[in-house]
């Protein structure tokens, strides 16, 4: 992993036991991520799609709203990233902060589901919601802005993302028909707005001056022989935590299976095996992150900040941000689902590059903000203004994917490595951790909105070019086009590349549809059975 190479390059400032902890954690991270991804494909995604489809089959708004609120609250409480963040804001009790974030996410999940039902424009909802967020922040609780946006970022993590994405796919498939691709995305993005508003409103009743950063110091090790015991203890704690947070989701699924779903025995066995993989993989992953990555992040950031040439933190942060996205479990789930739903028109590689560039720029700007103590308003306001302006020129499906990507990129690795890294830098430079170090996750959630929508605008431009050149292309060269255009006038089997043509509202001009050859239609309508009767070789009476 590139992150390991970067840390090892600065290992001369780290104790030997800390380096050993980090390397062990890196191995566990890779193993856990692989097992978790397999379990997510087998269990979380099928469960979400089944529940989403069942919610909408009744066509009752009350059932959809009530079920969406319950699922939103339960899966948000189950999110491990949220538990990491709440322990770092001592001015607010953990239960209060978790409850506020969960209710906010549940309420906006209801709005997201109702948006699919009533076919409300997603960009309009983003503009109204974020305008309300900045209005509340500016009037009531500006000091909680960084914490609030960080709360929204960590809400969409390894538990919520696969479940909510699949839930949206199930609902949109039943209700949206041809628009199911476009409507299946955007739920994670809207769910991230709810916690921001909830924490800002909660900030009215709490004093931000006492909200210091409560970072748990890493365990002191006397020898390398203590490392296995430390990881074993943490694994048991992580396993217990994961089982506790997944139990409500499994309970809801089992009840729906008994009452409504009635899935086949084969599918149930596959789902329950997937749940075991999910629990095991996530437990191993969190063990490696919490023991190996978190202490190294803080220690490394603090020591590099004390260098005489500490400007190296800025390019180093950009490199860390670029490569750390690949270690986010939820990012792999999102990238795979985007590729599947768009039938390969938007590949996992394109999504990964777009996210990596966005997060790299975000972490770089965050480090500049920490080092020079710049107010986060000067970054968030222009960032969201640009992202919301892009929605006017970006294909709708790219807008939904981009806003989902922002929350997904700000996941476990951001909370457990990049945030402690920023805290270490802030501590070493004597900054205010509450206002300076917090906000890095918010920045990570903002920049991918711009980069992914930029990819969407470029995709739309190339699609229009392909459509404009199509009449001049010969039959042999037509296969090179990204967009598959049917000129036979008849009904054909859907091809995988058709999803690419649907991603832009204006990919294929209407004039081309009207220019289809009329002779093809008549050729299709010729009755073949009559022709067979006219050439019957034998009269009926000569048949033996």
Task: Tell me the torsion sign for CA atoms 22, 26, 31, 32.
Answer: positive
CA distance 395 to 464: 12
* Half-sphere exposure of residue 420: CA atoms within 13 angstroms, side-chain side: 24
Residue 503 in any domain: the answer is: no
Distances in Å between the Cα of 268 and the Cα atoms of 42, 164, 254, 257 are: 10, 20, 10, 9
Residue 192 in any domain: the answer is: yes
CA distance 279 to 238: 9
Confidence of residue 520 (pLDDT cuts 50, 70, 90): very low
In the chain, the number of structural domains is: 1
Give me the pLDDT at residue 196, please: 93
Give me the pLDDT at residue 540, please: 45
Residue 200 in any domain: the answer is: yes
Is the pLDDT score of 13 beyond 80?
no
Tokens 């919301």 belong to 388
Cβ-Cβ contacts under 8 Å for 501 (sequence gap 6 or more): 463, 483, 484, 485, 507, 508
Across 363-386, average pLDDT: 93
Residue 18 in any domain: the answer is: no
CA distance 449 to 129: 15
pLDDT digits (tens, 9 = 90+) for 254-313: 998 998 888 999 999 999 999 999 999 989 988 988 888 888 888 889 889 998 888 999
CA distance 485 to 496: 12
Tokens (6 digits) for 255? 């009840």
Q: Are 401 and 185 in contact (CB under 8 A)?
A: yes
pTM of the model: 0.73
Tokens (6 digits) for 187? 């739920």
Give me the pLDDT at residue 181, please: 63
CA distance 36 to 282: 6
pLDDT digits (tens, 9 = 90+) for 443-491: 999 999 998 898 888 888 888 888 888 665 445 544 444 434 343 444 4
Residue 516 in any domain: the answer is: no
Q: Are 329 and 299 in contact (CB under 8 A)?
A: no
Give me the pLDDT at residue 175, please: 72
Confidence of residue 517 (pLDDT cuts 50, 70, 90): very low
Cβ-Cβ contacts under 8 Å for 512 (sequence gap 6 or more): 467, 470, 471, 485
Give me the pLDDT at residue 514, please: 43
What residues make up the domain containing 136?
25-213+226-465
At 346, is the secondary structure helix, strand, or coil?
coil
Residue 518 in any domain: the answer is: no
Residue 402 in any domain: the answer is: yes
Cα of 25 vs its chain's centroid, Å: 24
CA distance 297 to 424: 7
Tokens 């941000």 belong to 321
DSSP H/E element including 20: helix 16-39
Is the pLDDT score of 346 beyond 60?
yes
Give me the pLDDT at residue 487, please: 39
Residue 2 in any domain: the answer is: no
DSSP H/E element including 190: helix 187-202
Q: Are 137 and 145 in contact (CB under 8 A)?
A: yes
DSSP H/E element including 504: none
CA dihedral 189, 195, 197, 201 (to 10 degrees): 180
Cβ-Cβ contacts under 8 Å for 285 (sequence gap 6 or more): 28, 29, 32, 33, 36, 158, 329, 412
CA distance 95 to 132: 25
């Amino acid at each position: 992993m590139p992150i390991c190479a970067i840390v090892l390059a600065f290992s001369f400032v780290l104790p030997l036991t800390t380096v050993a902890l980090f390397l062990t954690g890196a191995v566990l991270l890779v193993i856990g991520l692989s097992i978790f991804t397999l379990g997510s494909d087998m269990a979380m995604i099928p469960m979400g799609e089944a529940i989403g489809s069942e919610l909408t089959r009744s066509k009752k708004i009350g059932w959809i709203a009530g079920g969406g609120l319950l699922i939103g609250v339960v899966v948000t409480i189950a999110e491990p990233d949220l538990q990491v963040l709440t322990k770092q804001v001592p001015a607010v009790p953990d239960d209060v902060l978790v409850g506020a974030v969960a209710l906010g996410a549940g309420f906006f999940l209801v709005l997201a589901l109702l948006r699919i039902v009533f076919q409300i424009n997603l960009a309009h909802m983003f503009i109204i919601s974020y305008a309300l967020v900045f209005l509340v922040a500016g009037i009531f609780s500006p000091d909680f802005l960084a914490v609030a946006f960080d709360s929204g970022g960590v809400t969409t993590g390894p538990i919520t993302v696969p479940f909510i994405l699949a839930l949206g796919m199930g609902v949109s498939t039943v209700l949206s028909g041809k628009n199911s691709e476009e409507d299946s995305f955007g739920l994670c993005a809207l769910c991230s707005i709810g916690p921001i508003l909830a924490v800002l409103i909660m900030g009215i009743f709490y004093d931000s001056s006492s909200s210091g950063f409560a970072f748990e110091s890493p365990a002191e090790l006397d020898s390398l022989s203590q490392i296995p015991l430390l990881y074993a203890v943490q694994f048991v704690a992580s396993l217990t935590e994961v089982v506790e947070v997944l139990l409500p989701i499994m309970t809801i699924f089992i009840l729906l299976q008994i009452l409504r779903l009635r899935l086949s025995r084969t599918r149930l066995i596959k789902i329950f095996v997937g749940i075991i993989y999910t629990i095991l993989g996530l437990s191993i992953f969190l063990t490696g992150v919490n023991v190996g990555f978190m202490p190294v992040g803080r220690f490394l950031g603090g020591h590099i900040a004390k260098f005489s040439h500490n400007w190296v933190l800025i390019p180093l942060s950009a490199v860390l941000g670029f490569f750390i996205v690949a270690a986010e479990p939820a990012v792999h789930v999102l990238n795979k689902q985007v590729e599947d739903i768009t039938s390969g028109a938007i590949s996992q590689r394109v999504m990964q590059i777009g996210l990596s560039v966005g997060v790299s720029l975000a972490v770089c700007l965050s480090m500049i903000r920490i080092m020079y103590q710049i107010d986060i308003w000067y970054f968030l306001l222009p960032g969201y203004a640009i992202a919301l302006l892009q929605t006017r020129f970006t294909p709708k499906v790219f807008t939904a994917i981009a806003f989902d990507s922002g929350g997904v990129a700000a996941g476990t690795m951001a909370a457990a490595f990049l945030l402690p890294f920023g805290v270490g830098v802030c501590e070493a430079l004597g900054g205010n951790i509450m206002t300076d170090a917090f906000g890095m996750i918010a920045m990570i959630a903002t920049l991918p909105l711009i980069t992914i929508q930029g990819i969407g605008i470029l995709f739309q431009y190339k699609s229009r070019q392909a459509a404009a050149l199509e009449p001049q292309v010969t039959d042999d060269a037509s296969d090179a086009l990204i967009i598959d255009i049917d000129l036979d006038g008849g009904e054909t089997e859907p091809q995988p590349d058709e999803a690419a043509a649907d991603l832009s509202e204006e990919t294929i001009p209407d004039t081309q549809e009207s220019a289809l050859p009329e002779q093809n239609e008549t050729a299709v309508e010729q009755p073949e059975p009559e022709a067979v009767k006219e050439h019957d070789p034998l009269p009926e009476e000569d048949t033996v």
